[in-house]
Each structure stands twice: as structure tokens, then as C-alpha cells.
Structure 1
Amino acid sequence: MDEADFMRGRVYGAEHGDPGPRTGRAYAQLVGGPLDGLLLDVTGTFGTGVPESVALPTEIGRYGPGGRAVYAPRPTDARRFDWQGDIR
């Protein structure tokens, strides 16, 4: 995926009327699972480093409403978060 394709992606949690990424923000691409292809805004979220994983609320995962999809940064590319599974 080149930079132009990356910046056309839809941002996790964004409003449907304004789904695109914003200039000056940092994003990671979610890979696999129910949120595959979405961008996660990571601007200033992690303070001193990249988290081991994030659990993102979603209604389209294994557990439906109230469930979460767990993603972890790819060891070789922190701009990609790979799906680890779904939790309640």
C-alpha cells in the first residue's frame, strides 16, 4: 500500500460523513479480523512507546455488541497492527 492509498483509508471510530485521515495525525493500519483495513489514530496516544496490544470495541466481531477486537503492533512494522482475536 503506497502513501496515497493509505491516506484514503477509513479511520476507526470516525463519523461516516468524515471518515478520512487528517493531515498531521499518526495512524496504524489494522490488518485482519473484523476491522481489517481500517486506520487507527495513534497520535499521542501511547506516550513513551507502542503498546503491546489494543482492544477495540466492535459490533462486528465474534461476540457482537459489547465485544472487542484485539490488535498488536507488527514487530517488523509498528504502522501495522495485526489481529490477535476477539474478546468479550
Structure 2
Amino acid sequence: MNADDEQLLHGQVYGHDHPHPGPLPHQRYAVLVGGPLDGPLLDITGWRPEETGDGAALMTGLGRWPGGQVLYDPLPDAPRPAAGPGVVCRFPYVGDTP
């Protein structure tokens, strides 16, 4: 991934095609921090608290294994990030899985 790829990820919502209008005010998001998906938002609207606490395994071709998943877990005690409307938590990168 190069600098242009990284710039495309910031402000985007994971799973939405580019260009996407970015976060919507009536949705809830986690910002992905670190790893190959550093910067995008993950739409967690409708997730129950226990689902949010489990984090996410996200498909990407940018991880250690092509076609694998990257793992992001929440930081429940972290302050709310200033990353835009609807952002309620951070999911830091914890690793990759095939």
C-alpha cells in the first residue's frame, strides 16, 4: 500500500465503494486504528454492546495473507475519538488471520 492508498482509506466507511460520502449523522461508527486498514470507519449501527465488545474480523487484500482477515478489538475505556459525526469508539488493530 502506498501513500495514495492510505489517503483513500481515511474518512471512508469500510465496505462501501469509493467515493462514498463518508459518515452519516444517524449511524454509529468505530474508527479503525493501526494495521492495514488504519483510518476507515466501521459501521456498527445496530450492534449490541456485547457485539461491539467482541471487535471485528474484516476481509481485506491488504493484510498479511491475501484474502485473509484483519482483526480489530475495541478499547472500551478510551475517550471518544474526534473522527467525525457518529464515531463512538476506536477499534485498534491486533493482528491478521488467513
TM-score by length of 2: 0.72
Identity over aligned pairs, percent: 47
The change in CA–CA distance for 1:62 and 1:19 in structure 2 (over 3 A counts) is farther
Q: CA offsets per residue over residues 31-88 of structure 1, 9 Å max, x none?
A: 00000011000000x2243232210000010001x21000000132360001010001
Equivalent residue in structure 1 for 2:91, among 62, 81, 86: 81
- Give 1:10 shift: 0.9
2:76 touches 2:89 (CA, 8 Å); kept in 1?
no
Higher helix share: 2
CA distance in 2, matches of 1:19, 1:56: 21
Query: Counterpart of 2:32 in 1: which secondary structure?
Result: strand
Q: Which amino acid in the other structure matches residue 81 of structure 1?
A: F
**1:12 aligns to what?**
14
Name structure 1 gaps, 5 residues minimum.
1-7
Does residue 70 in structure 1 map to residue 80 in structure 2?
no
Aligned pair count reads: 79
Question: RCO (CA 8 Å, sep 6+): is it higher in 1 or 2?
Answer: 2
Name structure 2 gaps, 5 residues minimum.
1-9, 79-87
Higher strand share: 1
Q: Which amino acid in the other structure matches residue 72 of structure 1?
A: D
TM-score by length of 1: 0.80
- Give 1:23 shift: 1.8
